[in-house]
Amino acid sequence: MEQEKEAQERKIDEQIKEVAELQEKNDKLVEEKERYQRENHSLKEKVRRVPTRLETAMKKVRGVLGVEERLEKTLRLKEKGVIPDHIRDTICDLVALDNVPAQSCVDAFKRITVGLGFDIEGNVSERSVNRIVKEGGVAAKLHVVESFQQAEGIAISSDGTSHKNNNYESHCVTTVDKTGGRKEFFLGISMAANHTSEMQRNEWIELIDGLYELFKSSPFCAGDSDSRDFWAAVTGMHTDHAEDQKKLFRLLKDFKHQCDREQRGEKTVLGLSSPELVQLLVQVSQTATEAAGGLDAWSQLTEAEQFALNEKAYLEQVREIGEDEFNKLLPDERENVDLFLWVGCCMHKEMNAFKAGVTEMESWWAQNNIEPPTQLPNRDNDAASTLAPGTAAAARANEKSKGGAIKVTTLAGTVFRHKDRKRGQQDTLRFYFDKQFGFTIEFPDTSNSRFQSHAQASAILITYLDFFLGFLDLIEDNKTSRQLNHLEKNVRCGLQCNKTRHELAAITLYHQTISVPYMREIRGPLSTEQNVLNLGPFHEQLKAHLRKLVAHPELAVGPDISYETATFDGKLWDRPEAVYAVQRHLFELPYLRDLFAHMCSGALRGWERFTSEFADGGEISRTSAKLRQRASMLKTNDKNESEFGVFRREARDKPSMSLSQHNSRQMYKQNAGVSDYLHSMSGDGRQFLREQVRKEDGSGKNREKKMSIAQHMDNVAAGKRKKDKEKKERRRQIQEKVASAGSRRFADVETLENVFQIAPRSPGYLTVAELDLQLDWYAQNTKDSGVPKTKGERGTRDAKFELLKQAITRSASQTAQMDTGGGSGLIPEQDKCEEGENNQEMDAESDDSEEAFYGRSIK
């Protein structure tokens, strides 16, 4: 046995030695391989440097011989099948910044480079161009998130519009740094199923969450990035004055507070000890179980439903903890954390106040029993009132027709600057105006509802009143038929109306004394205040000036007026020729002074309403100057308005362009610094952009959004159909009750009076519900019953009793006339059918002429 063990040990030792020798040989082979690889690499490098050395030698020879060097000028659009970064940057700049069409971008680039003496190799497809532009859009999103992180305060603004029956929302952001400097960012336009405040809130939250998720997945995110940081930094919101925008502000304000409390609560939870954390989790579990309805109900839920309840309960606990931590802050600190101010667009303030003033001015005629301006009905209404006087159609035509300055400026805009550029007299007007005065004008675009266009049109019409009347005569004489069309006749009729001239003059004076001076400060290059939150005193001065004009209209209406006392800012007239034209017509405008004062009075009420956010005791007035600077906002919402204008133009010129492509181009163009940000990106960043664009193109988000809108339409239609069905069923049930009441109706007043005397809670007591059913039957089945249709108009139980007595009396009288026989007590159901048939025969016989029918309708 020992010999066998020794033999085995010797064998093992030999094998170990053999393995050691093999390992040594392998190490030597590895060393030789590495040496050969180094030598091979060195030889390759020497071979690679041969052309360079030859080129260097040739340069030296050329230099010695004095031969001029000829450089190779070849630009390759692709290197090894990949578009280089500098080519991508150039293409993106051409398309997004210079508006070069994607399909023509590469051809334009080639023409430029060939003109500079370069040869071009390769090509770039239109699809690649569009993807390159989208890469610029992704870079713009990353750039804007980095700007958010550096901001001291953030103001958001939005607006909505509809295009081809679809709702669109525009979103913009203004960041404020520590010095008060502002930067504006466009965040894109999105489609929405509807324009409710809740939908707009969700759009804002989804937009910001998407930006931060993109940034967190990028190589540029160094730490933890949370979209709640954005809402914590939001300090202001700028919109128009619609009620849905004010509600949206309240919803976002609550969400901002919720995000802050969650972050504070989570920070506190992370610092809890183990026993405290266990206690919190137990409390969360108990809350979730109670919300489910107990342990039995909890056990029947799916894991996803249990997780959702646990998450909801946890967030509620976290917010409560965050609220406790927030309450520990000092009052100034709490005010700084919860700072969120709303302000309305100043352009909309002026527009709404102007509209209020015009409405008040138009009511002045009736209030003073003076005949208003001549009505200017359209062609159909004019025919109805002319061909069928005294009829309901004529009455409706007169009711719908309007006259006055705004009607004339609207019609004049259609004639002199039609929104369809193929129609209208806009070119003819410019040519003839240049012939008469030596310069041209462009009539204000009232047909497209441009800001202050009606006031500007009023000023032009009153200034060149004789010219426009003569120009309309010229149009008439140049026509083959020698007749103006109905629209042009209305314009001439309106300009010839003295009352309409009164309104044109009043609007012109208001525009020159209030509107123009106000907008000088809001939009002018010499404005003194850039933060809209500091314009409270400015608006108070404006309203004080309006009160002065209401009390002393002679400051603006009269032969000796001065811009120093008439205008709000005391500066020169914007259109002195318009003011002088009003003065020239003063002798024929006896009501102008009172009319102008009335317009200023209405505008003052409008200004009071639309500057309410600056009122004493409001949030803005209570906020310190330092916090107002942190929440600094622009004075108008022009950014969103202009983005919609660009979108409409792009949608018309490039109807196949996707919304994501449009947003990429506009964000790259409008947001300052994006181009430099993209050009400075490294290889990892560029790779991320390309991957993200491919991912977005393959995600189908655009189609998913459209399908969600289509599904929303289905849901809305289904909901309305369901309501219609339920309404129809309720009507059927009510009709059955009314028909049943008809079988119980009283044959005479005496029987009704006897039943009415029965005491309450006694058998046979006549209830209010029964009275209403009886009245409903008579209203439906008796001609001229005198029964009001709505229950509210019928009054108390006693009043309904009197109405029922009258209805029974009328029905008995009609029954006697038809000689259908009498009845006693309650009339059987079959008699009701016969009575209904007789009533139908009466109706058929009574409406034997159109004249009788219209005559009764008027009554």
* pLDDT-wise least confident of 261-265, 618-622, 758-762: 758-762
- Reported in sequence order, the residue ranges of 25-152 that DSSP labels E, i.e. its strands, are 74-76, 119-121
Q: Is the pLDDT of residue 404 over 90?
A: yes
DSSP letter for 303, please: H
What is the distance of C-alpha 225 from the center of its chain? Answer: 29
When pLDDT is cut at 50, 70 and 90, the band that residue 131 belongs to is very high
Average per-residue pLDDT for the chain: 87
Tell me what percent of the residues of the chain surpass a pLDDT of 70: 93
Q: Is the pLDDT of residue 436 over 80?
A: yes
C-alpha span between 593 and 550 (Å, rounded)? 10
C-alpha span between 504 and 494 (Å, rounded)? 10
* pLDDT-wise least confident of 237-241, 337-341, 390-394: 390-394
Task: Name the most confidently modeled range: 118-122, 288-292, 294-298, 623-627.
Answer: 623-627
Orientation of helix 453-463 relative to helix 498-510, angle to 10°: 120
**Sheet-wide strand order for 153-163:** 182-192, 166-176, 153-163, 234-239, 341-344
Q: Is the pLDDT of residue 857 over 60?
A: no
Q: Is the pLDDT of residue 841 over 60?
A: no
Give me the residues paired with residue 119 across strands. Answer: 74
Instruction: Classify residue 806 by burial, with Cβ atoms within 10 Å: 0-12, 13-18, 19+.
Output: middle
Question: Tens digits of per-residue pLDDT, 815-838?
Answer: 777 654 444 333 344 344 333 333
List the one residue out of 557, 566, 562, 565 whose CA is nearest residue 589.
Answer: 557
Q: Is the pLDDT of residue 19 over 90?
A: no
C-alpha distances in angstroms, 391 versus 400, 401, 540, 848, 852? 14, 16, 51, 17, 11
Structure tokens at 262: 């969650």
C-alpha span between 826 and 101 (Å, rounded)? 84
Give me the residues paired with residue 176 across strands. Answer: 153, 182
8 Å CB contact between 554 and 593? yes
Give me the residues paired with residue 375 across strands. Answer: 403
pLDDT in the model for residue 843: 34
C-alpha span between 805 and 748 (Å, rounded)? 8
DSSP 135-190: HHHHHHHHHHHHHHHT-SEEEEEEEEEEETTEEEEEEEEEEE-TTS-EEEEEEEEE
Structure tokens at 362: 């138009």
C-alpha distances in angstroms, 622 versus 110, 339, 358, 615, 632? 61, 11, 34, 10, 15
Q: Is the pLDDT of residue 382 over 60?
A: yes
What stretch of H or E contains 237? Answer: strand 234-239
**Coil, strand, or helix at residue 403?**
strand
When pLDDT is cut at 50, 70 and 90, the band that residue 17 belongs to is confident
List the one residue out of 492, 500, 457, 496 whose CA is nearest residue 475.
Answer: 492
| Residue that the structure tokens 């980095």 belong to | 146
| Residue that the structure tokens 């040990």 belong to | 9
Structure tokens at 609: 């309403």
| Residue that the structure tokens 């009172």 belong to | 594
Give me the residues paired with residue 746 across strands. Answer: 826
C-alpha span between 225 and 198 (Å, rounded)? 26
Structure tokens at 79: 């290197």
C-alpha span between 280 and 628 (Å, rounded)? 39
**Through-space distance between the first and last CA atoms of the chain, rounded to whole angstroms:** 136
